[in-house]
Amino acid sequence: MGPALSKHPRGAALGASCLLALEFIAAVQAQSPAYGQCGGIGWTGATTCVSGWTCIYSNPYYSQCLQGSASSSTTTTTKATTTPSTTTKTTTTSSTSITTTSAGATSSSWPGNGSGSNFNNPVLWNDLADLEIIRVNDTFYYSASTMAFSPGAPVLRSYDLVNWEYIGHSVPTLDWSSKYNLANGERAYVQGIWASLFGYRKSTSTYYWGGCIEFGKTYMYTATNPAGPWSKRSTINTCYYDAGLLVDDDDTMYVAYGNTNISVARLSSDGLSQAETRVVWNSPSSIGTVEGSRFYKRNGYYYIFITHPANQQWILKASSPWGPYVERQILSNLSPPVSGAGVPHQGALISTAAGQWYYMAFIDSYPGGRMPVLAPVTWGSDGYPTLSLVNNAWGASYPYPLTKHPLKSPYGTDSFSGTSLSPEWEWNHNPDTSKFSVNNGLTLSTATVTTDLYAARNTLTHRILGPISIGTIVLNYGSMADGDRAGFSMFRDQSAWIGIAKTGTTTRISFVTGINLNQSGWTTSSTGSENAGATITGTKVWLRIYADIRPGGTRTATFSYSTDGNTFTNLGSGLVLNNAWQFFIGYRFGIFNYATKALGGSVKVDSFTMNLA
């Protein structure tokens, strides 16, 4: 599997050529149904979709019929919008600014927290895809994939499966290749950390994380505290693509992995190398592509929990880790608990200490990314699990699994106190650590001379809390150098920012949009241009982004600034948020500072505030 996989570079280049090939042979084949597979390596079925649906490339193994036309996922980006907020009542038109009187940043309760004894889905409206959840005694830990963001693979903690807090990262730095440094013309967008294994070995009190990078090797990391420090311990020459870890009752460690043909590897006694691996199950053509393996044991049976992306969940059951496995469908085309989102799939099965079971899936919810939804599971006397539905759909609300245990709020203000970043933050690629510092504020010195935000090192990103958040940073720009650009962005493959542009001794508040990556290879197709701007004086500015990341909402961001923290002025036409999934990671707030002429300038960020609109 490793060699075969590594032959296929990931990225949209292959996708585009697949689509062309598919178009070519489409005429002679029947059409694939809604959500049906329509392409991928080894696929011999229909390659076009029924009317109103389009065959969309997902990865080398999978293209799927999704609603709409192909062009809708690649069109851009900016147009005049209105802001539906009740707190920032502004209307925007291209290139004009309007003074408003509202601070716009209100506090309200996180709705996932629920009221009374029920919680609401999603439990946390954050982009936390490809999740695995483990329980150690009464504590749950959550791992997610992060592609080229650094540090990678966040760890979250919960005591009730609903309230979660970030505590660390399993991958301190992405050091598998220099391209993860975003330097010397190299970049690694959409590569890096995909669905990975995460587990705990009781006998040695050790947490394990392992990920296959770019269909090549698998890197194993361990920690004795899930909050860290984590360290890289070994390299395994097999790609554990979409892997799940099982520590068996006799302490043997197994990894289930693969695409369509599922394999099980037995690890060496220290869990750091491979002892043997075998293909244990081949997906029949009636099921087709599967991936996203998780590996569990219950009542003496082995279960591999797999997804048919992105609309079905399956489980394989056997009395030996090596099989033979018998499959059963868990869900298919189930309605999600969020309007406009995709079918809940992939994710993890979880047991509580009291022996109750839950399934945390995620839903494709672009432009915001993929976020977790929770539902109870019961086991039948035949040893297969059944999902508890509400009106034949994934429930928007269920009773709390455990006593409600609120944690650090997912919104609020971070004043960058102390000397390190809190674990909610991730850089775009590895940062240049000599060019930033945290000390009661965040100082960002320019780290790259470029005109391209996607080539600039040290953009610091934060997940946006859905459904609609207002992010605000307080930026001190008195130490910027001629040519520097610093500010606050909606960061994804189609980005925009509001910030300060310094030219000579003059400073301008500027809204720049049209900053785009090409899905074919993730090169920069456009570095953007100023859509609106004005001269500004002083040394301090509040920059604000209103972001509606609901998949069925307006999908817009609007940008404003203030020189006193009270009166905000809307700037520019806003950004229609791209809801194509190919970049995988959803929109984030990004704080940046780069030079277009020479290094030497810096900015200081006093605080970042994110509140629900």
Ligand X SMILES: *[C@@H]1O[C@H](CO)[C@@H](O)[C@H](O)[C@H]1NC(C)=O
- Positions touching ligand X (CB under 6 A) are 41-42, 109-110, 113, 136-137, 259-261, 282, 404, 406, 409, 518, 520-521, 525
- Kindly give, in sequence order, each residue whose CB lies less than 8 Å from that of residue 243, ignoring residues fewer than 6 positions away: 195, 196, 197, 210, 211, 212, 218, 255, 256, 257, 293
How near is the Cβ of 113 to ligand X at its closest, in Å? Answer: 4
How near is the Cβ of 200 to ligand X at its closest, in Å? Answer: 8
162 three-class SS: coil
Picking from 204, 206, 196, the residue whose alpha carbon sits closest to that of residue 230 is 206
Backbone angles phi, psi at 19, to 5 degrees: -60, -40
Q: Cα separation of 492 and 27, whole Å?
A: 36
Shorter beta-carbon distance to ligand X: residue 415 or 525: 525
How near is the Cβ of 604 to ligand X at its closest, in Å? Answer: 29
Neighbours of 483 (CB within 10 A): 18
**Cα–Cα–Cα angle for 180, 456, 588, rounded to 5 degrees:** 80
Shorter beta-carbon distance to ligand X: residue 5 or 605: 5
Shorter beta-carbon distance to ligand X: residue 138 or 564: 138
How near is the Cβ of 51 to ligand X at its closest, in Å? Answer: 28
Shorter beta-carbon distance to ligand X: residue 13 or 389: 13
Shorter beta-carbon distance to ligand X: residue 115 or 440: 115
One-letter amino acid of 103: A
Shorter beta-carbon distance to ligand X: residue 69 or 109: 109
Q: Cα separation of 303 and 384, whole Å?
A: 9
Shorter beta-carbon distance to ligand X: residue 135 or 328: 135
Reported as type and span, the H/E element at residue 20 is helix 12-26
Cβ contact 25:47 at 8 Å: yes
- Kindly give, in sequence order, each residue whose CB lies less than 8 Å from that of residue 50, ignoring residues fewer than 6 positions away: 31, 32, 33, 34, 65
How near is the Cβ of 610 to ligand X at its closest, in Å? Answer: 12
Shorter beta-carbon distance to ligand X: residue 298 or 404: 404
How near is the Cβ of 541 to ligand X at its closest, in Å? Answer: 29
16 three-class SS: helix
Helices (H) and strands (E) in the chain, counts: 2, 45
How close are the terminal C-alpha atoms of the chain, in Å? 47
How near is the Cβ of 599 to ligand X at its closest, in Å? Answer: 29
Shorter beta-carbon distance to ligand X: residue 109 or 413: 109
- For 454-504, strand residue ranges (E) read 460-463, 468-476, 484-491, 494-503
User: Radius of gyration (Cα) for the chain, nearest Å?
Assistant: 24
**Cα–Cα–Cα angle for 412, 410, 78, rounded to 5 degrees:** 80
How near is the Cβ of 167 to ligand X at its closest, in Å? Answer: 14
How near is the Cβ of 261 to ligand X at its closest, in Å? Answer: 4
Q: Residue 478 is encoded by which pair of tokens?
A: 């008195």
How near is the Cβ of 409 to ligand X at its closest, in Å? Answer: 4
- The DSSP call for residue 180 is G
Query: How many angstroms separate the Cα of 80 from the Cα of each of 17, 101, 368, 491?
Result: 34, 21, 21, 19
- DSSP H helices in 135-262: none
Shorter beta-carbon distance to ligand X: residue 240 or 559: 240
Place of tokens 């090549």: 216
How near is the Cβ of 117 to ligand X at its closest, in Å? Answer: 10
Up-side HSE of residue 512: CA atoms within 13 Å toward CB?
Answer: 23
Q: Cα separation of 178 and 347, whole Å?
A: 31
How near is the Cβ of 43 to ligand X at its closest, in Å? Answer: 9
Q: Cα separation of 196 and 213, whole Å?
A: 10
Shorter beta-carbon distance to ligand X: residue 468 or 603: 468
Shorter beta-carbon distance to ligand X: residue 8 or 79: 8
